[in-house]
Structure 1
Amino acid sequence: MNIDTIKISGILNKITSNQNMISYAVCWIQNGAKAIEINDTLYKNVSNSIFFLKPNCNWKIIKQDLTTSSGYVLYLPKSILNHPTFKNLHITEVRLLNSDEIPKIKLSPGIETRVQAILEMLDELLSTHLKHREEAIISLLNTFFVYCDGKCNIKSVISDSNAKSALVYKFKKSIDNNITQYHEVRQFANILNVSRKYLNESVKEVLGVNAKHLIIEQLVMRSRHSLKFTDKTIKEIGYELGFSSPDYFSYFLKKHTGTTPSQIRKS
């Protein structure tokens, strides 16, 4: 595989279309895009989605906001799937590019910044001649695929208009916005105007976990980040995340991570 055939370009113009018919195209569409047209079919409501497109697809992204970038297009050579890093993995990254359908991934809130950082590092490495450049690029691509394949994201196909997938995305967005106030599934169900039972059923069907799992996942992630990367006291972090007392905060982390806040901070 020639690493120099990997390209990244921004979605900047009114129309961005497939200029490279021999490569896979991974389109990450952020805000400001009106639609994507694939094989003469127009799809709207595509913001914050990643599409995996084969070389034989005719596609174009239509922008409505010309003042800012609306994401990135990552062009990958067909030989990418033969690289040992991807070929030997028994998870679904490779199937994202090998699928007979057109995979669409709705990024979970909070993951967007990580994906953007990965693509920016890829773009930077592609423009340099640093030692071990190829290994670093392959490693970043692998990380990108793993994030896309993660349970935290909602995977579907381009033609999917599943109401449950839409609800789960709104639920995850609500968790991201309200986690410091609410920790219970019923509270989020009330915000979303659905029953707790239906919300649980939807999350289980779309992601394979229950709704409470997503709330716990977000609390643990934010707790770990604050403990490791801020100077706030354990007491301050616990109260900021909506825990009723430092003791309950410690109990929560011990139960779900096996370690105390102090141990996480020292690790």
Structure 2
Amino acid sequence: MNRLYNERYKSFDQYVSDQEIGFTKWDLTEGESLNRELIDHNHIFFILNGSVKISCNEFHDRIFKAGEMVFIPKSASFTGETLEASLIINHSFENPLNICDKAMMESLAPLSDTIAYRFQPLAIRPPLDHFLELFVSYLDDGVRCSHLFQAKQSEIFVLFRLYYTRLENATFFYPLIGKSVDFKSFVMANYLKVESVEEFARLGGYNVSTFRKKFKAHFNESAYQWILKQKSKHIKYKISIENVAFKDIMDEYGFATPAHFNEYCKTHFGMTPSQLRESLK
């Protein structure tokens, strides 16, 4: 560690980054959990060593290994664990920071209609690998400077623009891209918190008619139908976890009776909760 730097840095507490936003290094042992309250932010896991198993929304037990990165969107249902000792850099962020980064994400929106999203990794290739090696040194020295982290987030998105194709970026960041990154980010951050489209519109400061039109323009379907589909993904994910009791799922998602829950699962998944859990093993 650079002791001179660390001594001086500690006197500037106002520059210490929010622990939930920025970059953290995870040096993990085999079998260690990755479940760390991720839903409030977007995350990129850069896997430098080892391998991990991740389930995210409707995608279960996907294996990611050293030299790969994976994007976890905000509000995702997520679990993960290491399959061997692993070194991971976790970059957490709310939105792309500057106009160029937002413009890139918005320019990719037309590609979303041509992509079948599969929650796939993207290779860490030069010069991104060199960037990450340097960042490991910063984190090992205890650097928590928010200004540096903001600059490095912008640099990462420059590297994505320069060294990855538009199709690669669109496939990797699929849950984030849209005609308006800010509007999509608002939707992804809040759709699990609202009980109705009317409440959703008020939360965003829209009248209901404007919100419905804006939503349809961005997601190509009504807000009501889209929210139902997203919640069904979360419910299916929870059913897939064997140690989560059906009663807990019912309470979380507002099912008044087991019969109501059974009927919902038959309608949306073609089988009862018990049958669905068995089929997902």
- The answer to whether TM tops 0.5 is no
Q: TM-score range by the shorter chain?
A: 0.3 to 0.5
Q: Comparing both chains, which one has the higher relative contact order based on Cα–Cα distances under 8 Å and sequence gaps of 6 or more?
A: 2
Query: Normalising by the residue count of structure 1, what TM-score does the alignment of the two structures yield?
Result: 0.44
